């Protein structure tokens, strides 16, 4: 029975089991300490910005981190109070009192639980990578510039505004506190350089301990973290009497849920991008955040989310398991109750330096360069998302990026592309259509029509439908209208390769008794139509048109593959098959460039091994198995094979022509029994050729060592299915 509600107990059990192993214990412990040193001042700042007392931010960081680590779907993410919700939370507290925290937290948590259990978190996987990359970079950019005033000791509250910071960088250079700046610089140097020589965990803790020790020993006068709460309060039931407008509070709570969930899942995606090998489970992460927000609300805290700033510090510090998040929370508790002075004597410049390094790592200029080189459209989405987040806020930035990505995807989906080739005789134009035929196709068809009317000698226009992925009634109407206009100029229109469904749409779109076009299926159909009008069918022009399509579309889409293959080939299969034009191995095997090493000849013949023979087949076999290291061979015959039919019909004849001499190798395999029909002859010949293959020394050696697989397949030209010899009979491969 299919499980309706989601909760991945096996995943959590495996994840939590890692917390009880010795491996990575020290790394997680150090990472937890470092994150706590960053999380405490951040939590205090978020609490103040949200309009609550400092200890509320601390309790939210502790409870949220522990609960999310136990139930969430991201291994290395750190949960805590987030800057993104401070404005909304402060407004609600101002209007409805402190009791609104419980309402917001419970509504947010319950909805997150429901969304996770209903498996709705997976839809965040649809968020385009450029949006996620821009989200990471923008948060890193904001963190970096917001920490600069602390690194320079510019005390004005206005410096929390990123525009103010950026605008006054020149002033900071002239008014910086040299002591503070040197402490920040020392921290940055240690955090950036030591990981090259030491484990990340050791380097990160030293990046805090060394500058703090230097400041303490030499009595350097720099701002310190200062007084923090020394105790945590017990939860109590809030006063709901101040809440007069429950409707607006619930609406605000829904907004908190949306922001918290979006930031959490985007942060989880960002963490995946950083660590690569530990992808998060979106539904489980929502469930974990739901439990966390419910628990935090019951303790009187502010709503929490997965926070990329703390998570990136956690990863940079060398965390490996969920223990780091637990250690982070326990370290905060320990420091608050037993050693608050440890936090209070840390220079603010040290924390600023740690965050500056984390911010720079998050910006990741490599993503920008890759988008610049590979996809300017993704670069545009990245840039818009980044700039909107930086200039406005997180929610508007994500909305802008998603909207832009949706618009671009819609345009691409609806777009109609064409490749136009005028034959050298000036009498034929071939047009390859690709993409979708819809209302959006009108402009493309109008451009094509204009090109056609500019060719005075034109007699035929061939529209190729092979690349058309979809068509609606409006697109079909545009096509038939275009064909009608072209035919009015005495030019014959051919629709080539139209599918059954497309043909129905085209027929329904015709407003006249006879179609303004002729349908063709094979290239020979086109050849007959052209020759009836005295126009020569130029095969070289067809090939040139194919090359144009290949270089214009395929080669562009698979640029990296072609670049890689240019360095050398590494095919996985040696395919020996017939030269028959009805066989297109790359098509029916759905294989790409560089996958098949193909040998083709009349009748898929493999000459028996002879050290003196000069057949190219023997050379190809030895090269494929020896030089290329291929360990899979497929010998593929096909039904209705002309070579087999000729060998049966003219078994006793030999004119000693080149073809007859070649076919004699097939006839020699029929010497004990001449097959009564082509199908049985095809199968018998196939097995004979496999036997010939096994006469080659390199084949015998590999088979003896169980290092080679040989398969015998028959492609049916009637049904486009493949049969495989299983040692007793030919059975379906279930490949198509």
Residue 559 lies in a domain: no
Phi, psi of 445 (to 5 degrees): -65, -35
Q: How many domains does the chain have?
A: 3
Q: Which of 631, 641, 639 is nearest to 703 (CA)?
A: 631
Pair of tokens at residue 118: 């209903």
Whole-angstrom Cα distance, residue 360 to residue 694?
A: 61
Residue 562 has pLDDT above 90, yes or no: no
Residue 395 lies in a domain: no
**588 and 532 share a domain?**
no
H or E stretch at 395: helix 394-414
Whole-angstrom Cα distance, residue 87 to residue 66?
A: 25
DSSP 8-state assignment for residue 190 = H
Do the strands 709-716 and 416-422 form a parallel or antiparallel pair, or are they unpaired? Answer: unpaired
CATH of the domain at 423: 3.30.750.24
Whole-angstrom Cα distance, residue 72 to residue 81?
A: 16
Q: At 87, is the pLDDT very low, low, confident or very high (cuts 50, 70, 90)?
A: low
Range of the domain at 119: 22-225+248-383
Q: At 191, is the pLDDT very low, low, confident or very high (cuts 50, 70, 90)?
A: confident
- Is 311 in contact with 76 (CB distance < 8 Å)? yes
**84 and 160 share a domain?**
yes
Phi, psi of 51 (to 5 degrees): 85, 25
User: What percentage of the chain reaches a pLDDT higher than 70?
Assistant: 90
Q: At 157, is the pLDDT very low, low, confident or very high (cuts 50, 70, 90)?
A: very low
**33 and 113 share a domain?**
yes
Phi, psi of 369 (to 5 degrees): -65, -40
Query: Final residue of a domain: which of 341, 360, 383?
Result: 383
Residue 609 lies in a domain: yes
- Is 116 in contact with 284 (CB distance < 8 Å)? yes
- Is 421 in contact with 545 (CB distance < 8 Å)? yes
Q: What angle do CA 251, 256, 258 make, to 5 degrees?
A: 95
CA 555 vs. chain centroid, Å, equals 20
What count of residues does the chain have? 736
CATH of the domain at 587: 3.40.1050.10
CA 175 vs. chain centroid, Å, equals 46
Whole-angstrom Cα distance, residue 278 to residue 76?
A: 9
Instruction: Tell me the per-residue pLDDT of 62-83, one tens digit each, with 9 for 90 and over.
Output: 999 999 999 999 999 999 988 6
Instruction: Tell me the per-residue pLDDT of 260-314, one tens digit each, with 9 for 90 and over.
Output: 887 788 788 888 878 777 788 888 999 999 999 999 998 889 999 998 778 888 8
**513 and 645 share a domain?**
no
Q: At 167, is the pLDDT very low, low, confident or very high (cuts 50, 70, 90)?
A: low
**345 and 492 share a domain?**
no
Taking the alpha carbons of 275, 279, 284, 286 in that order, is the dihedral positive or negative? positive
Whole-angstrom Cα distance, residue 279 to residue 519?
A: 50
Instruction: Tell me the per-residue pLDDT of 597-650, one tens digit each, with 9 for 90 and over.
Output: 999 999 999 999 988 877 899 999 999 999 999 999 999 999 999 999 999 988
Residue 100 lies in a domain: yes
The label of the residue with tokens 């385009």 reads 128
**533 and 613 share a domain?**
no
Query: Final residue of a domain: which of 383, 403, 438?
Result: 383
Q: At 236, is the pLDDT very low, low, confident or very high (cuts 50, 70, 90)?
A: low
Whole-angstrom Cα distance, residue 170 to residue 162?
A: 14
**132 and 261 share a domain?**
yes
**316 and 205 share a domain?**
yes
Q: Which of 116, 511, 55 is nearest to 284 (CA)?
A: 116
DSSP 8-state assignment for residue 716 = E
Pair of tokens at residue 469: 């992925």
Q: At 155, is the pLDDT very low, low, confident or very high (cuts 50, 70, 90)?
A: low
**92 and 213 share a domain?**
yes
Predicted pLDDT at 173: 61
**89 and 176 share a domain?**
yes
**348 and 430 share a domain?**
no
Whole-angstrom Cα distance, residue 731 to residue 683?
A: 12
Whole-angstrom Cα distance, residue 139 to residue 381?
A: 16
Q: Which of 498, 490, 440, 436 is nearest to 461 (CA)?
A: 490
3-state SS class at 499: coil
Residue 233 has pLDDT above 80, yes or no: no
**CA atoms within 13 A of residue 9's CA, in its CB half-sphere:** 2
- Comparing 330 with 125, which gets the higher pLDDT? 330
- Is 367 in contact with 61 (CB distance < 8 Å)? no
Residue 589 lies in a domain: yes
Residue 172 has pLDDT above 70, yes or no: no
Residue 67 lies in a domain: yes
Whole-angstrom Cα distance, residue 475 to residue 483?
A: 12
Residue 12 lies in a domain: no
Whole-angstrom Cα distance, residue 65 to residue 257?
A: 18
- Is 713 in contact with 634 (CB distance < 8 Å)? yes
Residue 79 lies in a domain: yes
**84 and 121 share a domain?**
yes
3-state SS class at 494: strand
Predicted pLDDT at 1: 41
Q: Which of 187, 180, 221, 219 is nearest to 204 (CA)?
A: 187
């Amino acid at each position: 029975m299919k499980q309706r509600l989601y909760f991945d107990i096996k995943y959590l059990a495996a994840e939590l089991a890692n917390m009880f192993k010795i491996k990575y214990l020290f790394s997680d412990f150090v990472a937890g300490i470092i994150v706590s040193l960053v999380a405490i001042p951040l939590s205090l700042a978020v609490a103040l910005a949200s309009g609550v007392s400092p200890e509320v931010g601390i309790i939210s960081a502790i409870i949220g981190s522990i609960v999310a680590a136990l139930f969430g779907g991201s291994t290395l993410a750190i949960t805590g109070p987030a800057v993104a919700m401070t404005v909304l939370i402060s407004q609600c507290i101002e209007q409805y009192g402190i009791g609104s925290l419980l309402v917001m937290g419970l509504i947010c948590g319950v909805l997150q639980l429901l969304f996770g259990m209903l498996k709705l978190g997976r839809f965040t996987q649809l968020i385009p990578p450029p949006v996620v990359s821009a989200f990471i970079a923008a948060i890193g950019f904001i963190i970096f510039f917001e920490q600069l005033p602390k690194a320079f000791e510019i005390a004005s509250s206005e410096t929390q505004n990123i525009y103010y910071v950026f605008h006054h960088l020149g002033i900071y250079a002239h008014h910086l506190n040299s002591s503070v700046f040197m402490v920040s610089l020392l921290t940055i140097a240690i955090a950036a350089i030591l990981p090259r020589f030491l484990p990340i965990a050791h380097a990160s803790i030293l990046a805090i301990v060394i500058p703090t020790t230097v400041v303490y020993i030499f009595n350097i006068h720099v701002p310190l973290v200062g007084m923090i709460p020394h105790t945590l309060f017990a939860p109590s039931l809030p006063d709901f009497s101040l809440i007069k407008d429950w409707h607006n509070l619930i609406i605000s709570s829904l907004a908190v849920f949306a922001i918290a969930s979006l930031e959490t899942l985007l942060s989880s995606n960002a963490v995946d991008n950083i660590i690569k090998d530990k992808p998060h489970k979106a539904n489980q992460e929502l469930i974990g955040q739901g439990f966390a927000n419910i628990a935090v609300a019951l303790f009187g805290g502010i709503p929490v989310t997965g926070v990329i700033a703390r998570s990136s510090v956690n990863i940079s510090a060398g965390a490996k398991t969920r223990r780091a998040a637990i250690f982070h929370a326990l370290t905060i508790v320990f420091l608050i109750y037993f050693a608050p002075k440890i936090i209070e004597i840390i220079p603010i410049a040290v924390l600023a330096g740690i965050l500056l390094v984390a911010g720079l790592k998050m910006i990741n200029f490599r993503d920008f360069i890759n988008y610049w080189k590979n996809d300017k459209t993704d670069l545009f989405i990245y840039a818009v998302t980044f700039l909107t987040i930086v200039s406005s806020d997180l929610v508007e930035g994500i909305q802008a990026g998603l909207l832009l990505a949706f618009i671009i995807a819609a345009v691409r989906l609806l777009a109609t592309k064409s490749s136009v080739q005028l034959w050298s005789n000036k009498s034929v134009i071939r047009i390859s259509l690709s993409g979708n035929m819809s209302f959006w196709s009108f402009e493309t068809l109008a451009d094509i029509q204009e090109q056609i009317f500019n060719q005075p000698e034109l007699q035929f226009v061939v529209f190729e439908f092979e690349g058309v992925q979809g068509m609606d009634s409006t697109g079909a109407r545009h096509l038939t209208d275009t064909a009608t206009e072209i035919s009015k100029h005495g030019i014959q229109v051919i629709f080539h390769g139209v599918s059954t469904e497309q043909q129905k749409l085209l027929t329904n779109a015709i407003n006249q008794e006879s179609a303004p076009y002729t349908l063709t299926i094979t290239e020979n159909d086109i050849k007959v139509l052209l020759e009836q009008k005295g126009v020569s069918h130029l095969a070289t022009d067809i090939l040139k048109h194919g090359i144009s399509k290949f270089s214009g579309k395929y080669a562009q889409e698979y640029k990296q593959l072609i670049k890689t293959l240019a360095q050398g080939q590494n095919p996985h299969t040696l395919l020996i098959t017939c030269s028959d034009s009805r066989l297109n191995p790359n098509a029916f095997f759905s294989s790409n460039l560089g996958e098949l090493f193909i040998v083709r000849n009349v009748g898929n013949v493999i000459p028996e091994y002879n050290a003196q023979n000069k057949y190219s087949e023997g050379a190809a076999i030895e090269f494929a198995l020896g030089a290329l290291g291929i360990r899979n061979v497929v010998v593929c015959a096909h039904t209705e094979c002309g070579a087999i039919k000729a060998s049966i019909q003219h078994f006793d004849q030999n004119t000693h022509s080149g073809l007859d001499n070649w076919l004699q190798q097939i006839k020699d395999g029929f010497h004990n029994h001449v097959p009564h029909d082509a199908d049985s002859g095809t199968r018998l010949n196939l097995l004979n050729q496999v036997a010939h293959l096994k006469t080659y020394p390199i084949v015998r050696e590999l088979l003896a060592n169980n290092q080679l697989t040989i398969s015998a397949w028959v492609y049916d030209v009637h049904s486009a299915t493949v049969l495989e010899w299983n040692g007793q009979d030919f059975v379906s491969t279930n490949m198509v």
